[in-house]
């Protein structure tokens, strides 16, 4: 049995045939090893034959190792023996497989390649969406009847309460913090100028986009991801229906219309929150606050604000759709796709808001 059973570095190496005839001799040799050593791993890479008795023997050997070790491993299982182990094993035997170590530069390189590939797929998705969105303006074939109105309600009307509430609080807090400083310099009247500029050019579009990304962007990603997992997207393709044209374009058209309205509503409610502070804390009149808020704005500010809102709306739909279509796995994959879409959308909104600020400062 010396040629069949060997011990080296806490591992027992078996070779040859392990069957009902050879098991007693192998067991005797291994018992001699256990008297002196405490092996953890059993290597059968050189085993040529294995029957049910051999599988039972290996299981008992691993159980014996587990009496003094937290884990016992069976490694080097030949491909020809794996079906035999799977058939006759009464328990799941953990197979210790050597996992190659990935170096730092390999890890960074793989991440760069994966990111570049994902960005390439995102650009392809964006091109398809813009193309079919333009075609859909003149030919509504391939879209459900009434889908535009339905998506307008889901993405716009249903978002009004949360947008209004948060905008009121943001306007209130922004005015309160600014008023405390302006009051020290006797510049109470400038609270209207500060609030009007900040809400119209920055806070209104950006905060509304972030709210919509968290609310509606997650809804878009989860809906498409659920359709992808349940194979509804494949069913649409089998019926010669373009999934982007059928699922995404109604959302794209609807959010392009409702997003500027949501931004205008957010700015108005935010100004009301500032008005409360201006009148109650700084002693300004309503007329003074309203007149200065309007006089300080120019047409460029309004154009930039609504341009931002439409651009942010497109970003939210495209990113949400991309993560929805690229989902993998079941319910867990849907959750990951939804989370990733919200994070990516918010990051993109903030990044492009900074770009717009640099371009139109």
At 186, list the tokens. 């006797």
Predicted pLDDT of residue 13: 85
How far is the C-alpha of 155 from the C-alpha of 219, rounded, in Å?
9
How far is the C-alpha of 40 from the C-alpha of 71, rounded, in Å?
7
Which residues fall within 8 angstroms of residue 1, CB to CB, at 6 or more apart? 25, 26, 28, 29
- Please state at what angle helix 190-198 crosses helix 286-295, rounded to 10 degrees: 50
Residue whose entry in the numeric block shows the structure tokens 């005015």: 175
At 235, list the tokens. 């069913």
pLDDT band at 361 (very low <50, low <70, confident <90, very high): low
Q: What is the domain partition of the chain in residue ranges? A: 5-88, 114-359
Residue whose entry in the numeric block shows the structure tokens 């170096």: 103
Residue whose entry in the numeric block shows the structure tokens 């007693």: 24
Which residues fall within 8 angstroms of residue 73, CB to CB, at 6 or more apart? 40, 41, 42, 94, 95, 96
Predicted pLDDT of residue 212: 92
- pLDDT of residue 92 exceeding 60, the answer is no
User: How do residues 129-172 score in pLDDT, each as one tens digit?
Assistant: 999 889 888 887 767 788 888 888 888 888 899 999 999 998 88
Q: Using DSSP, state whether 6 is helix, strand or coil.
A: strand
User: Do 170 and 207 form a contact (C-beta atoms < 8 A)?
Assistant: yes
Ranking 78-82, 212-216, 228-232, 343-347 by mean pLDDT, the lowest is 78-82
Predicted pLDDT of residue 2: 46
Q: Please report which helix (H) or strand (E) contains residue 201, including its range.
A: none
Tell me what the pLDDT averaged over the chain comes to: 85
- pLDDT of residue 95 exceeding 60, the answer is no
- pLDDT of residue 310 exceeding 90, the answer is yes
What's the CA angle centered on 258, arms 257 and 263, to 5 degrees? Answer: 115
Class of domain 5-88 (CATH, top level): alpha beta
């Amino acid at each position: 049995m010396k040629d069949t059973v060997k011990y080296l570095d806490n591992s027992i190496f078996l070779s040859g045939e392990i069957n009902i005839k050879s098991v007693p001799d192998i067991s005797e040799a291994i018992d001699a090893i256990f008297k002196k050593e405490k092996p953890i791993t059993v290597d059968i890479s050189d085993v040529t034959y294995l029957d049910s008795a051999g599988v039972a023997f290996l299981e008992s050997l691993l159980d014996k190792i587990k009496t003094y070790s937290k884990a016992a491993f069976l490694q080097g299982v030949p491909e020809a023996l794996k079906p035999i182990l799977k058939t006759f094993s009464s328990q799941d035997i953990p197979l210790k497989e050597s996992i190659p170590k990935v170096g730092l530069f390999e890890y960074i390189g793989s991440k760069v390649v994966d990111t570049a590939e994902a960005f390439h797929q995102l650009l392809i998705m964006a091109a398809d969406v813009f193309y079919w969105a333009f075609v859909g303006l003149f030919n509504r074939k391939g879209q459900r009847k009434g889908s535009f109105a339905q998506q307008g309600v889901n993405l716009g009307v249903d978002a009004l309460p949360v947008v209004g509430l948060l905008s009121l609080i943001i306007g209130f807090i922004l005015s309160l913090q600014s008023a405390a400083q302006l009051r020290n310099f006797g510049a109470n009247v400038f609270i209207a100028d500060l609030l009007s500029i900040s809400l119209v050019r920055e806070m209104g579009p950006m905060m509304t986009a972030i709210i919509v990304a968290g609310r509606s962007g997650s809804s878009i990603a989860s809906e498409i991801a659920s359709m992808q997992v349940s194979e509804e997207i494949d069913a649409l393709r089998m019926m010669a229906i373009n999934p982007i044209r059928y699922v995404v374009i109604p959302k794209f058209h609807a959010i392009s219309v409702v997003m500027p309205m949501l931004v205008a509503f957010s700015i108005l409610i935010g100004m009301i929150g500032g008005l409360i502070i201006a009148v109650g804390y700084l002693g300004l009149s309503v007329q003074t606050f309203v007149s200065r808020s309007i006089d300080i704005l120019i047409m460029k500010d309004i154009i930039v604000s609504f341009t931002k809102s439409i651009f942010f709306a497109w970003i939210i739909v495209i990113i949400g759709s991309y993560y929805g279509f690229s989902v993998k796995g079941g319910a867990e994959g849907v959750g990951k796709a939804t989370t990733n879409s919200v994070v990516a959308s918010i990051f993109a909104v903030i990044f492009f808001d900074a770009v717009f600020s640099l371009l139109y400062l």
